[in-house]
């Protein structure tokens, strides 16, 4: 056989191999609209969310990056138009404290990503070691511009690089504090509109690495629920609930006699996080004070019961609107004095220590601190906005605001938990959209509560 013939045959074989390989892989941009997004990430389970561009078959293969011998495969999912082509895929063969690489398959072709696809499960530390230090990022109010549905004039959203700045801080957990989308008037009267708004917001390129690189936990506020300041009587409430769960793979949520909620809880390295639902049961500010509420007694008692049993030194409670601030403006809890009194009286009666509220909504950031009659300190860390417009609270008198903590620009806060089991510390640091430090507050477990419980 001549050299030229051998060369041609060799080239043909190489091209055949390359062609075969290319047919078994596919670029993310060709098949996925958004994702992956890591939902809850526990010791023996992980939930990964994906959104495809059309109806496809999906599954995930994953393996321990240290011991790469055995691969695990999830069950297959078929994405459908009626569910926004979304899928939340359960990885249920993981083990505690282990890092796994995962591959997404669409119609049996492996999706190629430009960033790492890895998860690390939580450590089984209790009774064995001190919990690991970790960082959680928190922010609220994410407006993604869409010219066709936005108001005329200057764009309301901007500084999308904030999500890349958060990613660069390398948080272990991302907390979304509500108004994570902004439903437009064209959206909030139909289920199709809700799905469109989530789909549009989720596709922002700057979100990609942040959502794929750590677990995400979300709550909602009015703009995820319906129109501005929408209350629990809004007629699209069932679809607001449905689409939230389609696009956020949170842990299971509590249901009350008045209906379903977004209340849930999650432990992360020894710190408990609780979410409250400030929309589903909310009323207007009625003149009849016995009827007005944000949460309702059943939801409040659900939280009190959970806080009472929690062994976490810092009990992080995520709420869409401000809780501690005494400025009776906008949608603050101060506008519902009867329910606010009941809520904080119950915290005091049960001598619940270490409560820290994570709140958004206000389009500015601040830190508020109070101390109750039991001597327990209660903090409110407000962080807003991420990408929506900024508001100046020039006529607002929050007497609990810590001097120097007011931030009137787009920002996020990084919560750094450290220390041994009985001596945990928290550093809350606010950053601007480019990752520059704006304000910092440190607190210890001992400073939150009297040394001796009553």
Identify the band that residue 122 occupies on the pLDDT scale cut at 50, 70 and 90: very high
pLDDT tens string 146-170: 999 999 999 999 999 999 999 999 9
Region 12-28 average pLDDT: 58
pLDDT tens string 198-240: 999 999 999 999 999 999 999 999 999 999 999 999 999 999 9
* Domains of the chain with CATH codes: 26-120 (2.60.40.380), 134-448 (3.60.21.70)
What does the mean pLDDT of the chain come to? 94
CA pair distance 123, 136, nearest whole angstrom = 16
Q: Is the pTM of this model over 0.75?
A: yes
Q: Is the model's pLDDT at 287 over the cut of 80?
A: no
The predicted structure's pLDDT at residue 13 = 39
Q: Is the model's pLDDT at 19 over the cut of 80?
A: no
């Amino acid at each position: 056989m001549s050299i030229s013939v051998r060369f041609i045959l060799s080239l043909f074989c190489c091209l055949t191999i390359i062609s075969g390989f290319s047919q078994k892989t596919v670029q993310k941009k060709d098949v996925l609209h958004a994702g992956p997004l890591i939902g809850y990430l526990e010791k023996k389970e992980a939930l990964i969310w994906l959104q495809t561009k059309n109806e496809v078959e999906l599954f995930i293969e994953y393996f321990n990056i240290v011991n790469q011998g055995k691969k695990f495969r999830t069950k297959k999912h078929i994405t459908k138009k009626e569910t926004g082509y979304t899928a939340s895929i359960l990885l249920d063969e993981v083990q505690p404290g282990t890092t796994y690489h995962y591959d997404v398959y669409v119609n049996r072709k492996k999706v190629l990503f430009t960033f790492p696809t890895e998860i690390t499960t939580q450590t089984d530390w209790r009774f064995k070691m001190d919990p690991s230090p970790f960082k959680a990022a928190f922010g609220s109010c994410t407006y993604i511009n869409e010219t066709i549905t936005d108001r005329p004039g200057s764009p309301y959203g901007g500084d999308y690089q904030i999500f890349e700045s958060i990613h660069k801080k390398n948080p272990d957990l991302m907390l979304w504090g509500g108004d994570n989308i902004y439903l437009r008037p064209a959206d909030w009267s139909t289920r199709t509109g809700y799905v469109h708004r989530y789909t549009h917001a989720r596709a922002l390129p700057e979100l990609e690495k942040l959502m794929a690189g750590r677990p995400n936990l979300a709550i909602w506020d009015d703009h995820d629920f319906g129109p501005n300041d929408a209350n629990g009587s809004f007629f699209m409430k069932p679809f607001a609930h449905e689409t939230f769960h389609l696009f956020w793979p949170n842990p299971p949520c509590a249901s009350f006699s008045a209906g379903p909620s977004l209340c849930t809880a999650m432990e992360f390295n020894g710190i408990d996080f609780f979410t409250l639902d400030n929309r589903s049961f909310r009323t207007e500010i009625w003149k009849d004070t016995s009827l007005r509420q944000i949460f309702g007694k059943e939801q409040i008692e659900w939280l009190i019961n959970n806080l009472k049993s929690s062994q976490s030194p810092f009990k992080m409670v995520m709420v869409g609107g401000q809780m501690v601030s005494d400025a009776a403006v906008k949608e603050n809890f101060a506008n519902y004095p009867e329910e606010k009194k009941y809520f904080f009286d119950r915290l005091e009666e049960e001598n619940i220590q270490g409560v820290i509220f994570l709140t958004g909504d206000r389009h500015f950031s601040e830190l508020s601190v109070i101390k109750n009659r039991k001597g327990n300190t209660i903090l409110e860390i407000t962080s807003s906005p991420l990408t929506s417009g900024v508001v100046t609270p020039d006529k607002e008198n929050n007497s609990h605001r810590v001097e120097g903590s007011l931030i009137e620009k787009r920002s996020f806060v990084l919560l750094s938990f450290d220390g041994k089991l009985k001596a945990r510390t928290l550093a809350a640091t606010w950053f601007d959209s480019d990752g520059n430090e704006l304000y910092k507050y440190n607190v210890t477990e001992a400073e939150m509560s009297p040394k001796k419980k009553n």
